[in-house]
A and B are shown apart, each in its own frame.
Chain A
Amino acid sequence: MSDRVRHIFVITLVTALVLVSLLVCVGIPGVVKAEKTRLGLDLKGGVELVYEARTTSGKPVNSTQLNDAINIMRTRSNTLGVSGVIITAYGGNQISVSLPDVQNTARAEKVVGVTGQLFFYDWENSVIGADGKIAGPNAPTVTCGNSGGTFAACGISYYDAVIRGAKQPEHSYPVMSNPAPSFYYVDDKTKTVYAPNGPEPTKAFLDADILQHHIRLPSGTRLVEVKQGTVLIAATSAPEVVVPNDYYVLRDDAVLTGSDISNPQSTTDPTQGPVVSFGFKGNGASVFQRITGILAARGHANSIAGATPNLQHFAVTLDGQLVVVPSINFQQYPTGIPSGNGSEISGGFTFATANQLANVLASGALPVKLHEISSRLVSATLGHQALNQGLIAGLVGLALVALFLLVFYRVLGVIAVSALAIYALYFYALIKLIPVTLTLPGIAGLILTIGVAADANVVIFERVKEESRAGRSPLNAITAGYRRGFSAIVDANVVTFMAAFILFILSQSDVQGFALTLGMGVLVSLFTAVAATRAILGTLGRTRVIRAPSALGVTKGRRRWTFDFMGRSRWFFSLSGTILLVGAIAIGARGVNFGIDFVSGTQIQVALKRTATVGEIQSAISSLHLKSQGQSIGVPVVQGTGTTAKGSKKTDSFQISTKTLPSAEIGSLGSSVKTLYGMLDHRWGIVPNSFNQNSVGPSFGRTVADSAAVAIIASLLAIAAYIALRFQWKYAVPVMIALMHDLLITAGVYALTGRQVTASTVAALLTILGYSMYDTIIVFDRVRENVAKMQNAAFSQIVNRSMSEVLTRSLATSLCTLLPILALLFFGGSTLKDFAFALLVGVASGAYSSIFIASPVLTHWKEREPVYRRRRARIAAEYGGMVPAYATAGAAAREVDPVPRRKPRRGLTDAVRPDGTIAAGEFRELVQGLHADAPPRRASEPAAGPVVPEPARVEPVRDPTADALPEDVVMPDDRSAQRARGASKSRNRRRGRPR
């Protein structure tokens, strides 16, 4: 296929894809409907809950249990009446639930996150009294008599229940709610029980809970085990109280379970009160009738005629909490309640709670126990505001990059801007088609890829300009520019893609969104910025549009950088060292301000109708003395986030953060948060739908931190391996050092400025990894090229030359990336601003380290190699002891063109062969060139002339006058691909004869 045909094919493909993308994005009114964009919670508003799953037996959760749980939770979430629910598993034992448009966290938790294990007990025959014996029908002080334990009228404290339960021996029954022991820590002095996530089946689990919740156990605290066969059931003292405050100790001998019932429904009884009706499966009905028959008979037997009947009860428990304890009227049902048509649970329900219970029962019990470790409530108003800010930042970023490209590259700039527009259209269509859930970090990734897409164009255009300056015609300059710039772009994009991929695999949901858009963006930009622009330019190159070099942005009298980069690297090294020293001292003195993503806590964002100062809000909150589970929630940190009038300290939006938060509060609008909400609304008025709440438990914070560390290490290893393969292992080490430099400088700057490190910062750090490498690879690619060309120059001269050639490009690409980042910083919302700050520091540091850290380290290391040492010595001798910064004269200035411009030929004297060896003639030239670098000969060794190797195979050189091997001076490069292409061509073509 000729170039012309190929270009036409690519342009046709690009046009067709543009039309399809337009169809997807805009549609045709009345004919084709445009696809909807799926927005994430942070843009749309809603609730996100993250749970950690554990088995009741203490064994690790397996994937089947996790998948079953997800399916059940998905069924339950359907009852919330919202679409776009996303439930995903990650980390082997965590489940994330995203519920768009839901604004009631507590309701969502009750529907989705409850385990849903329902059990029926014979109440009087199960409750254990203070003497450790079953209460029986005549112990109303234990069983509450006819009240039947409802609302804990006769319950005991948590501590007493644990102590009473611990005295019971181990038992096994046919149906048990908890077929495992339960462990608690108790403090006998204060009669306090420590089990932050409820009882655990092993001591290790309980210890982990204590550690995660930063609970310091008082001295004298002891471990208590309630053996299998005894269960503690929580009850509430009033229907409106959520947290149980009384307990009963029961023999865990259940008579029926939730799996024995069918078709549970929320309905009404004859008095129009809410009830939950259900049928029975299998022999459930007969068991129910038998048990109620026993209860009726027992009630009848223990009642005295004329006195109040001694009614017996059965208890219904859900997830270890008493739901209802109905009595059996032995006069009405002397032989038990016939259940052929099902039964019902009534009493203590509201319509909403009856509905919730019916839904939970209908979906079945979860096979695992869930601990909520994080919850986030995003108001729809703030979500839309964030979306608008993100879009504005994106548009401004795109406009700035377009302006820069137009000014700097003229006609080429127009093509690059067109490619950017096409890129944006493709990307938007892909987001709609896949569909990708667009989140705020995702928008950040998208904006960053604008810079990456422009970078690819800059790399190639600078190359095209170089070729044009070298005297090539515009068309030839375009062809050569793309050919020579392509390998650098592929390497750089592969590395960025690898970073995005690793991030996607190892990170949490929000960061995953960012990684997905970054990865997609890299792929799409490779197509639009390389393939599409090449086809357009290739076609335009034959027209009058690009006839003069000035159309390519090539100006006469171009100045070349003559700065001694390697010579002055000492000063830049010292500068970096000083910045790092300051950073280290800042970390020691000030520490790093970790956000709640890492340290747990609650963060509330709220917009007020009337303005207030930070101090007013702070003192108002302090006066509330907020507590939870008896512990102070600490002094909340208040920050003003709204606009402030000039000369005034008052603002209308605030962020309130608490560092510690007891587990019971996580995710729900607990009593402390309710109190806070009420106070703010009363004094200043809360703007409707402006209350955002984000609660993170300790284990979630640890997961975020661990996954970030793993993602960074994995990225470093993968990228090092790639560079070692594509370049040489010695090139990988300076890249790693430069990366470390960038990441640690960013950490130091964060410590110095006191900015908060959030999950978004982690995404930014990984982007820095990718970008820093992108820049370094472009520089190293040119070093690799010049190493092969400048076979008599010192390595520092080669690097200086490479630097002077790529510095303009490096500055241009850095600017292209920094422009969208600056747009994010100035126009993005608070989340995007945090993200942009890390990127700004990292990208600036990345551009700097590519030139002033990675390259000098490579130079110092390579110059220790014998061949470069000899070259340096020879040049120093030639110039009176000093090595010039640039190889501009003498033998060092002699260049060879290592890349044959002719098509590969097959034959014994072929210059480049598929096996990587070189031709005899070229080798002879090379060795002669190396004579100047030869080490001093030993007197004992005979002089020898240049070795001429066998034509068919290049043997290692044994010549003591030139002991360098060809690979000492010629780097492996990407020509293997060209060779492969040459090898695949037809025999006639390779021989150069017309077909």
Chain B
Amino acid sequence: MGMLAWVIMGLALWHYTIWLPDRFWGGIVGAFLASIAGAIVTGVLISTAAHGTAIPGRHATHLATVLYAVPGALLGMALIYAIGATRERTASAEL
């Protein structure tokens, strides 16, 4: 259940990237993958650190569990954005 919550949170946050300039590495799909992957990674890390369980089950999923995904999703998308922007600058310089 925890995994489901993290994936939904990652997907939800990804939707707002539409407001940013499309400089993500791999475009909007790259941002999507980064958001989902980041959400799962930090979800697992924080859950393991806080409760000793990698993926909380049905009864162990609470509101806080859902929020574990937020930093990962944001970091993942920021990372992909930074890579994309750098590559774009490099490509422009070469022209």
Contact = CB atoms under 8 A, between A and B. Distances in A.
Contact of A587 (B27, B59, B66, B67): B66
A861 B29 contact: yes
A744 B28 CA distance: 19
B44 interface: no
Interface in A923-943: 936, 938
Top 6 A-B residue pairs of the complex, sorted by shortest distance between their CB atoms: A577-B15, A580-B12, A588-B66, A584-B8, A588-B63, A573-B18
A748 interface: yes
A577 B65 contact: no
B63 A573 contact: no
Interface in B1-57: 1, 4-5, 7-9, 11-16, 18-19, 22, 27-29, 32
A326 B78 CA distance: 82
A139 interface: no
A573 B16 contact: yes
Contacts of B29: 733, 737, 857, 861
Given A587-B5, A588-B5, A591-B58, A577 B12 contact: yes
A600 interface: no
* Chain B, interface SS category: helix
Given A584-B5, A587-B66, A594-B58, A570 B18 contact: yes
B7 A744 contact: yes
Interface of A: 569-570, 573-574, 576-578, 580-581, 583-585, 587-589, 591-592, 594, 599, 733, 737, 740-741, 744, 747-748, 856-857, 860-861, 863-864, 936, 938
Contacts of A585: 63, 66
B93 interface: no
Contacts of B1: 587, 591-592
A938 B94 CA distance: 11
A748 B9 CA distance: 11
A737 B15 CA distance: 11
B9 A584 contact: yes
Which of A574, A578, A861 is packed against the most chain B CB atoms within 10 Å?
A: A861
A860 B28 contact: yes
Contacts of A864: 22, 27
Interface residues of B, number: 30
Contacts of A740: 7, 11
A799 B34 CA distance: 26
7 contacts: A580-B8, A589-B63, A594-B58, A740-B7, A744-B7, A747-B4, A863-B22
A589 B28 contact: no
Contacts of B15: 573-574, 576-577, 580
B17 to A, nearest CB: 8
Interface in B54-78: 58-59, 61-67, 69
Contacts of B61: 587-588, 591
A936 B58 CA distance: 57
Given A588-B61, A747-B8, A857-B29, 7 more contacts: A570-B18, A574-B15, A580-B15, A587-B61, A591-B59, A864-B22, A936-B95
Contacts of A574: 15-16, 18-19
A587 B2 CA distance: 9
Contacts of B27: 860-861, 864
Main secondary structure of the interface of A (DSSP, over half): helix
Given A594-B58, A733-B29, A741-B11, A588 B65 contact: yes
Contact of A577 (B16, B58, B95): B16
A860 B12 contact: no
A592 B59 CA distance: 10
A576 B18 CA distance: 12
A569 B66 CA distance: 26
Contact of B8 (A573, A589, A744, A860): A744
A588 B12 contact: no
Nearest to B5: A587
A584 B12 contact: yes
A21 B15 CA distance: 51
B92 to A, nearest CB: 12
Contacts of A748: 8
Nearest to A598: B58
A861 B64 contact: no
A857 B28 CA distance: 7
Contacts of B12: 577-578, 580-581, 583-584
A592 B65 CA distance: 14
A578 B7 CA distance: 14
A864 B5 CA distance: 31
A778 B27 CA distance: 24
Given A585-B63, A860-B28, A592 B58 contact: yes
B11 to A, nearest CB: 6
A861 B18 contact: no
A857 B5 CA distance: 23
Nearest to B30: A861
A585 B7 CA distance: 12
B4 A587 contact: yes
A581 B4 contact: no
B19 A570 contact: yes
A864 B15 CA distance: 18
B5, B8, B32 interface centre (most CB from chain A within 10 Å): B8
Contacts of A576: 15
A584 B12 CA distance: 8
A569 B18 contact: yes
Contact of A581 (B9, B19, B32, B62): B9
Contacts of B4: 587, 592, 744, 747
A739 to B, nearest CB: 11
Contacts of B62: 588-589
Contacts of A747: 4, 8
A575 B4 CA distance: 20
B64 to A, nearest CB: 7
Nearest to A853: B15
B93 to A, nearest CB: 14
A936 to B, nearest CB: 7
Contacts of B59: 591
Nearest to B56: A588
